């Protein structure tokens, strides 16, 4: 359940029929969780396929996890005169519409979106 997910949780998900990807929850955001994907793809998740099904699964927790290098990471929200950027610490800043256009939007991403980003060109 997503409400029990916390920073430092290590997860895996099924990329396709033969491969699993792994990542870690960095922090809680307004629309979900910010996570990082590891550069690790394996044929086995390390737990049974039945436990994984097709969803993300927490497989471990990194104790005393303290995310680093989050300064300068922003997500855009709002529209027109209300354009803002939000940092990973939950702070909002008013910005111009032109800066808003350059930032990733603060919007939840699901499994389909993540798998599309992982496709090798």
Cα–Cα distance list, 64 to 2, 24, 36, 44 (Å): 20, 13, 17, 27
Quick one: which of 112, 17, 21 has its CA closest to 59? 21
Average of per-residue pLDDT across 88-103: 95
Quick one: which of 109, 114, 13 has its CA closest to 56? 13
Q: Which residue pairs from 20-27 have beta carbons closer than 8 angstroms and sit at least 24 positions apart in sequence?
A: 20/44, 20/45, 20/52, 21/118, 22/59, 24/62, 24/65, 26/67, 26/70, 26/88, 27/67, 27/70, 27/88, 27/89
Q: What is the residue range of 94's domain?
A: 2-118
Domain count, the chain: 1
More confident residue, 120 or 112: 112
More confident residue, 42 or 53: 42
Average of per-residue pLDDT across 33-48: 80
What is the value of pTM for the model shown? 0.75
């Amino acid at each position: 359940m997503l409400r029990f997910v916390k920073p430092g949780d290590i997860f895996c998900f099924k990329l396709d029929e033969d491969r699993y990807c792994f990542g870690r929850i960095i922090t809680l955001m307004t629309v979900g969780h910010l996570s990082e994907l590891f550069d690790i793809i394996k044929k086995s998740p390390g737990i049974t396929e039945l436990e994984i099904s097709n969803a993300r699964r927490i497989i471990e927790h990194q104790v005393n996890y303290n995310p680093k290098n989050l300064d300068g990471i922003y997500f855009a929200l709002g529209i027109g005169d209300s354009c803002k950027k939000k940092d990973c610490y939950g702070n909002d800043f008013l910005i111009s519409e032109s800066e808003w256009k350059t930032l990733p939007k603060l919007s939840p991403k699901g499994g389909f979106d993540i798998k599309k980003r992982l496709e090798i060109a």
